[in-house]
Amino acid sequence: MFRLPAAAAFVLAVLAAAPAPADKITTEQLLTRLSSSIENLKTLRCTVQARERLEGNKYQAARSTMKIAFSPLKVYVRNQKGVEVLWVTGQNNGDAWVNPNAFPYVTLNLDPNGSVMRRNQHHTVLNAGFGTIADLIKGSNLRQDHAYERSFRYTGDSVVAGRACHVLRSDFPQFRYVTYKPAKAESISRIADRFGCGEYRIMERNGLSAEDVVPAGKALQVPNSYGRRTIVCVDQKTYLPTVVQVNDDKGLFEKFEFSEVVANQPIPAAEFSKDYKDYKF
């Protein structure tokens, strides 16, 4: 019997969601509540199942548990392989503590925006949680064209892992790579903000590393937006994302599923210390 891939089946299930009742919620209201819920987070615990496309159209899957405190930012992440990352504002000279859980079994001090930590990672640990989703729907002040952000629409309701969700969908068929030449030297992160496309595909397409500064006049191939089709399932009780799926010109680019979400419950300060009893730094 033929079976659809999981990603395709998920999209079809969302497309089959009931049409949005006119008196229930509008696109503007849903976007506002989603943005507000993310911006008002003080703490967050969650588990994230990620699937990301890497160079050569290979996919990497990871399951991670996260603890995050905001203002000031503190992040702890542990994946299914036992790799641990801790980053705390104002500590360790801006580096993250990393337990690779592999030989030589020593704690590393690494730049969270550097090439070692960004290798085969779509996003920096500093954007753990819902930071990337907030950027998708809000856009950067550097953007001259916010057509992608304006393309999101409330398309109906669905149920994800037993949770009733509102579904936001962006269809952006004009997604493509464009040529960009900086007028002056620019970092990859600034170029990504300018186009709202994220840093990973700029590095992948142009053979660059995270620390590279692009000189003035150098021609780059850069996505003109984040995706061709984007689906965000929003929990109807918390108004936080449960699923985010992005497709581009090659198909599935990334998918994140959030579970065991606990928001705005105090997290002891000790849990953001590398000496915490449950950690192996």
DSSP 22-33: TTT--HHHHHHH
Tokens encoding 35: 């943005």
Q: From the centroid of its chain, how far is CA 117?
A: 15
pLDDT tens track for 93-140: 999 999 999 988 899 999 999 999 999 999 999 999 998 898 888 888
Q: Which residue has the higher pLDDT, 13 or 146?
A: 146
For the chain, percent of residues with pLDDT exceeding 90? 85
Write down the residue that tokens 């057509």 correspond to: 147
pLDDT at site 139? 83
Q: Model pTM greater than 0.85?
A: yes
pLDDT bucket at 20, cuts 50 / 70 / 90: very low
pLDDT at site 142? 87
- Which segments of the chain does DSSP mark as H helices, in order? 6-15, 27-39, 115-118, 131-138, 147-150, 188-195, 200-206
pLDDT bucket at 1, cuts 50 / 70 / 90: very low
Q: What average pLDDT does range 234-257 have in this prediction?
A: 98
Q: What average pLDDT does range 56-74 have in this prediction?
A: 97
Q: Are residues 85 and 111 in contact, defined by beta-carbon separation less than 8 angstroms?
A: no
pLDDT at site 9? 53
Q: Is the pLDDT of residue 7 over 90?
A: no
Q: Is the pLDDT of residue 246 over 50?
A: yes
For the chain, percent of residues with pLDDT exceeding 70? 92
Q: Is the pLDDT of residue 252 over 70?
A: yes
Q: Which residue has the higher pLDDT, 219 or 20?
A: 219
pLDDT at site 172? 97
Fold of 27-140+239-272: outer membrane lipoprotein receptor (LolB), chain A (2.50.20)
Q: Is the pLDDT of residue 19 over 50?
A: no
pLDDT bucket at 6, cuts 50 / 70 / 90: low
Map out the domains of the chain as residue ranges.
27-140+239-272
- The chain-wide mean pLDDT, for the chain, equals 92
Q: What average pLDDT does range 178-186 have in this prediction?
A: 97
Q: Is the pLDDT of residue 81 over 90?
A: yes
Write down the residue that tokens 């859980």 correspond to: 101
Sheet holding 152-160, edge to edge: 108-110, 96-99, 84-88, 74-79, 58-69, 43-54, 251-263, 241-248, 229-235, 163-171, 152-160
pLDDT tens track for 149-178: 999 999 999 999 999 999 999 999 999 999
